[in-house]
Every structure is written in C-alpha cells, then in structure tokens.
C-alpha cells in the first residue's frame, strides 16, 4: 500500500500525488524544502526547522503559506509509529500560466510533505574527499535547486567515498549535504554561518551539546590545510546526525576510526534523542 502524503490540502497515497508540468518547482527549481527528524513520534526542533523554512522563503520572496500550528497538524497526520523517521516538506512558487523566468503574481504555492524511515548511519564512520565548490553564492537558502550538490556527492561516490567536503578559495565550507566540524587541539571548530553554508539545525544542536559537556568550541573560517591537522572530522545533518569521517582523500583521519570527542558528543546526542522520545510518551 502506498504511504500517505500531503499535497495542497489533501492527504492521499503517494502514487496518486501529481503536480502540473507548469509548476515552477518542476520548471525552474523555484522552491525550498526542509527535512525534520522524528524520534518517538515527535519532530526534533520543529520550531527551529520552521523558522529556517520561513527564512528560506523570505530569501526567495515568498510568504510562509501556513502557520506553525497548521504545519504541525499536517505532520501529526503523516507521522506513523514511534520508529526513527523524517519529514520532508517542500514549498514551490506554484503553477503559472506560462513558462517565464519572471516571478508571477497571484500564484498559489505548491505544498508537499511526506514522512519516511531514517536509515541508520554507518556505525564505523565514512570516507570523504575534498572537492572544489561549484555551487551558487546563496547556500544559506535551503533551495530545491540541488544539481551542483548531486554532482559533487556523485563525485565522492565515484571514488568510493560517502561525502564531498567543499572547498572555496582555500576555505572549508561544508559537505555536499551536511555541515562540517573538526577537532583541533581539543577544540571543536566549525565554519561560521553566512551565505556560503546552510545554517544547520543539527550543527547548532551539536554546538549546544558540546558547550554543555564543557567542550571548547569555535565558529570561524577553516583553512584547507587545517583539515590535514585535525584529529577528528565530523559531518552533521538531520538524518545522519554526527557522522565521523575516518578517511579523507585516501588518508586516515586521526587513528582512522571514530575519535574520543565524537564518542562524547555522540552519547550526548543520543541522550537528547531519548529525552525527546520520553517527552513524547509522557505528553
């Protein structure tokens, strides 16, 4: 049986969900999206995810189509069971009467959401490569125009790696679908927010958990040369959580396995998830 999805006010089987070929998301990639993890039936940091959605919409000249309460009601219908899962939601500018680059007036947005299981992250860590960033200059917008990210991730997969770490002007930015953190001299370092990286919700949570554990943190630019000096490298994302990079460009990172600081933050992150599950049961 097809899973149920939400599309423009209706809940229907995935196989029946259709959009017009004149939808601007289809024609131009004119839209934004969010991915929200769900643990114990409760979305993680829902408010923060919806604020980021609103900011992405504002940056592409769109108004929020729904209130937080309306989004929550949709998600409650889509979430099934208490297993780990994730909500994917997408907002496009909608269906115009003709294909034209100019933003049309009076067009209703297309709203889509679905909920799917989260695959467990690789327990032993991943291999990654460094690549030159070929994306646009507004990576802070969580836009559905992801062709550059697709090509960069595939470049990594073609070498047997799982992720690409993107470099621009000699500076480390993020992964093709993740934020990056490195450990230098016991300090957890991550690039600062700005137009060049996505403001990751998981990134922010890991920094908060690190501070609570007494781990020194810095948000600053990272030179490419510092990657080779890092004792640990992590990738963070909503569905892959905190993922240790154990090999970079064919060379081991640290001792070639998940490091001790990762173990501390991994434990704290799992405890945070468990607290969310317990609050869902109690609520």
Tell me the catalytic residues. 142
Question: Which phi and psi angles does 26 have, rounded to 5°?
Answer: -70, -45
Inter-helix orientation angle 68-78/46-59, to 10°:
120
> Checking DSSP bridges between strand 217-219 and strand 187-190, what pairing results, if any?
parallel
Tell me 19's DSSP state: -
Does residue 82 contact residue 41 with C-beta atoms inside 8 Å? yes
Does residue 181 contact residue 259 with C-beta atoms inside 8 Å? no
| Number of neighbouring beta carbons within 10 Å of residue 114 | 17
Inter-helix orientation angle 46-59/201-212, to 10°:
140
Does residue 153 contact residue 141 with C-beta atoms inside 8 Å? no
Strands (E), the chain: 4-7, 10-13, 31-39, 42-43, 85-92, 110-117, 126-132, 163-168, 171-175, 179-184, 187-190, 217-219, 222-223, 232-237, 241-248, 251-252
- Nearest CA among 173, 175, 176, 205 for reference residue 192: 173
Rounded CA-CA distance 77/94 in Å is 23
């Amino acid at each position: 049986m097809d899973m149920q999805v939400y599309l423009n006010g209706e809940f229907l089987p995935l196989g029946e969900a259709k959009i017009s070929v004149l939808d601007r998301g289809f024609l131009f990639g004119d839209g934004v999206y969010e991915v929200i993890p769900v643990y114990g039936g409760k979305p993680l940091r829902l408010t923060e995810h919806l604020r980021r959605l609103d900011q992405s919409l504002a940056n592409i000249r769109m108004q929020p189509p729904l209130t937080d309460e309306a989004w929550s009601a949709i998600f409650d219908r889509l979430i099934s069971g208490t297993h780990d899962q994730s909500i994917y939601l997408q907002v496009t500018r909608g269906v115009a009467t003709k294909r034209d680059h100019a933003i049309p007036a009076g067009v209703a947005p297309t709203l889509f959401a679905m909920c799917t299981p989260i695959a467990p992250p690789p327990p032993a860590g991943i291999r990654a490569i460094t690549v030159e960033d070929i994306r646009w200059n507004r990576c802070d917008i969580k836009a559905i125009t992801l062709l550059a990210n697709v090509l960069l991730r595939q470049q990594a997969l073609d070498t047997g790696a799982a992720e690409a770490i993107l470099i621009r002007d000699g500076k480390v930015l993020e992964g093709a679908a993740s934020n990056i953190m490195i450990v230098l001299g016991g300090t957890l370092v991550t690039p600062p927010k700005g137009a060049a990286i996505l403001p990751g919700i998981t990134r922010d949570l890991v920094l908060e958990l690190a501070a609570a554990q007494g781990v020194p943190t810095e948000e600053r630019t990272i030179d490419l040369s510092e990657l080779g000096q890092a004792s640990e490298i992590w990738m963070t994302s909503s569905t892959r959580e905190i993922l240790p990079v154990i090999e970079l460009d064919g060379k081991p990172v640290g001792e070639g396995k998940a490091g001790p600081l990762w173990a501390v933050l991994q434990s704290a992150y799992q405890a945070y998830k468990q607290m969310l599950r317990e609050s869902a049961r109690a609520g």
